[in-house]
Amino acid sequence: MRRARAPVALALAAVATVALVLLPLAYLVLRAAEGGADALRVLDRDTLDLVLQTLLLVGAVTGSAIAVGLPLAWLVTRTDLPARRLIAVASPLPLVIPSYVAALALLGAFGPRGLLQQLLEPLGVERLPEIYGFVGAWLALTLSTYPYVFLLAASALRGLDPALEDAARGLGDSRWRLFRRVTLPALRPALGASSLLVALYTLSDFGAVSLMQYNALTRSIYLQYRSLFDRTPAAVLGLVLVALTLALLALEARTRRNVRSSASGTERPPALVALGRWRWPAFAFGAGVLTFFLVVPITVLVYWSTRAVELGHGISFAWEAALSSLTASLAAAVVAVVAVVPVAFLAERHPARWTRAIERLAYTGNALPGIVIALSLVFFAANYLPTLYQTLALLVFAYVVRFFPQALAGVGSALQRVHPRIEEAGRSLGRGPIRVLATVTVPLIRRGVLAGGALVFLNAMKELPATLLLRPIGFETLATEIWRFTSLGSYSRAAPPALLLIVVSAPFVYLLSTRRSSDVSAPG
């Protein structure tokens, strides 16, 4: 069939939307270029050390997330692990815990004035080993990211063709040899996608590295921005962070080449592996993961919340900050899903090189950490639109740019499942394109729209660096309240808003984690 030419209005709307998404990156480049040769002075040995320390943290967190998430996924999908259904449901729940809340929980448990220190003081233990620095940041980020590996690996294991493993067993392969030669290669796409998610999360993290006082690029960018009159060095460091992110995306795309699917297309489940004498040690591993990464953080937050009463300032759940978080996040979700419709519709209904290029450019948000977006918008607004600086509109715009790819993935995947002839039938009845879009297409893709909006809402609720730099004066969110009190060492004041953030986010994480694997897509 000959495809209709893209309507001019649709093309203009899509191009304008993507241009706005690219605005922060474009302005950051211009800002750095204005500094000329002087701006490059920031690229010295200290910057190289920052890059190496950041990459060290990225590698360590990615490795530990795989070491936790992959075995756990295999145990709950392929073995007779005791309570495996309960463990399968509970394992993704740490996704509700942002990295800075994980850092708060670890400091509240193992920090200098933490719960463990208070328990050990009567026994004569005056000081615990230091948790600040690399170890603390590594543990906090592993807590927040291993569910990505678990979810994608478990989904891939459920879709793996059982005949492949049956054939290997028929040839006499041991369980370990079967896993190494058959199962693990088949999991390569899922492990690549989840590793990318973990690496991007770690690379762009600001909360955990700041609270744990680890010298990563994001923390250095923030300190440069706050401490210098000339903020060009912060822009240059921001571009270094973008370059590292693009390198990770390119590396993942390269490893994904020539990978064939091993999905079976059948609903026959694989036979469960009998763990035998390893059954209870395996259960201890699963229970230990959930205890350390879920039970301990929540217990610590509950403990410090109750301590607020003993310390005399009562439990404050920061309801006003919660309302601010809900307002900004809901506005960002609505704007994002509306903005992605012309981009997704143009790419799916009028495929061509230029429309696909526009769609790929829309995923640039994956290469822009929150602190880089915020920094560029601060520069832009302060120089050209001072009336927008420190307004809710600018903060919502930053959220939309940051999480535009999540909304586009949800809407685009839903639109792929709607046959164009359904829309053609609507137009044959005399309805115009806009009316068909509103009355036919949008109702059919509402699940994808809701999923994309939920992803934007959930991530905006947890976003910290962009909120810190762009929020209006006096506009506090749950994220900024948690960060403010934790940075002061006031765990009893930081714990209640952290618990409230988890409670608000948990239903969205649960709903998203139970969606079909076909609705899950990696960035870019």
Residue 369 DSSP class: -
Q: How far apart are CA 66 and CA 195, in angstroms?
A: 8
Q: Give a yes or no: residue 512 inside a domain.
A: no
Q: Give a yes or no: residue 425 inside a domain.
A: yes
Pair 58, 83 in one domain? yes
Q: What pLDDT shows up at residue 382?
A: 84
Q: What pLDDT shows up at residue 441?
A: 72
Digit-coded pLDDT (tens) for 217-262? 899 888 877 765 566 777 888 888 888 888 887 777 676 655 554 4
pLDDT class of 430 with cuts at 50, 70, 90: low
Residue type, 394: L
**In 37-101, where do the E strands start and end?**
none
* pLDDT of 519 strictly over 60: no
pLDDT class of 330 with cuts at 50, 70, 90: very high
Pair 274, 134 in one domain? yes
Digit-coded pLDDT (tens) for 375-412? 889 888 888 888 988 899 999 999 999 998 888 877 87
Q: Give a yes or no: residue 513 inside a domain.
A: no
Q: What pLDDT shows up at residue 255?
A: 67
At residue 263, the 3 state secondary structure works out as strand
Digit-coded pLDDT (tens) for 346-364? 887 788 888 888 888 887 7
Residue type, 384: Y
* CATH number, domain with residue 393: 1.10.3720.10
Q: Give a yes or no: residue 221 inside a domain.
A: yes
* pLDDT of 147 strictly over 70: yes
Q: What pLDDT shows up at residue 111?
A: 79
Q: Give a yes or no: residue 144 inside a domain.
A: yes
pLDDT class of 524 with cuts at 50, 70, 90: very low
Q: What pLDDT shows up at residue 264?
A: 46
Ordered alpha helix ranges (H), 351-490: 353-362, 370-384, 392-416, 420-428, 433-436, 442-444, 446-462, 465-470, 478-487
276 Ramachandran zone, left/alpha/beta (phi>0; psi -120 to 50): left
Q: What pLDDT shows up at residue 393?
A: 94
Q: Give a yes or no: residue 511 inside a domain.
A: no
Pair 392, 282 in one domain? no
Pair 324, 288 in one domain? no
Find, among 201, 111, 181, 194, the residue nearest to 154 by Cα: 194
Q: Give a yes or no: residue 375 inside a domain.
A: yes
Q: What pLDDT shows up at residue 433?
A: 63
Pair 326, 309 in one domain? no
Pair 200, 329 in one domain? no
Q: What pLDDT shows up at residue 137?
A: 95
Pair 310, 329 in one domain? no
Pair 343, 287 in one domain? no
Q: How far apart are CA 24 and CA 381, in angstroms?
A: 11
Name the residue with tokens 């708060």. Answer: 104
What b-and-e string marks burial along 376-400, b requiring 16 or more CB atoms within 10 Å of the CB? bbbbbbeeeeeeebbbeebbbbbbb
Q: Is 316 exposed, middle or buried (0-12, 13-18, 19+ CB in 10 A)?
A: middle
Residue that finishes a domain, picked among 294, 315, 336 = 315
Find, among 193, 180, 242, 188, the residue nearest to 51 by Cα: 242
Cα angle 202, 203, 206; round to 5:
75
Find, among 150, 152, 155, 135, the residue nearest to 61 by Cα: 135
Residue that finishes a domain, picked among 281, 315, 349 = 315
28 touches 375 (CB < 8 A): yes
269 touches 163 (CB < 8 A): no
Pair 212, 102 in one domain? yes
Q: Give a yes or no: residue 306 inside a domain.
A: yes
Q: H or E element: which one contains 314? A: none
Mean pLDDT of 321-336: 94
pLDDT class of 95 with cuts at 50, 70, 90: confident
Q: What pLDDT shows up at residue 54?
A: 94
Q: What pLDDT shows up at residue 431?
A: 65
Range(s) of the domain holding residue 25: 1-34+319-475
Pair 435, 286 in one domain? no
* pLDDT of 288 strictly over 60: yes
At residue 102, the 3 state secondary structure works out as helix
Backbone angles phi, psi at 325, to 5 degrees: -60, -45
Q: How many CA atoms lie within 13 A of 452 on its CB side?
A: 29
Pair 149, 233 in one domain? yes
Q: How far apart are CA 133 and CA 470, in angstroms?
A: 27
262 touches 161 (CB < 8 A): yes
Q: How far apart are CA 405 and CA 337, in angstroms?
A: 10
* pLDDT of 55 strictly over 90: yes
> How many folded domains does the chain comprise?
2
Pair 333, 399 in one domain? yes
Q: What pLDDT shows up at residue 513?
A: 62
Rank 46-50, 264-268, 312-316, 427-431 by mean pLDDT and report only the highest. 46-50
* pLDDT of 121 strictly over 50: yes
Digit-coded pLDDT (tens) for 161-208? 666 665 556 555 556 666 666 667 777 777 887 888 899 889 989 989
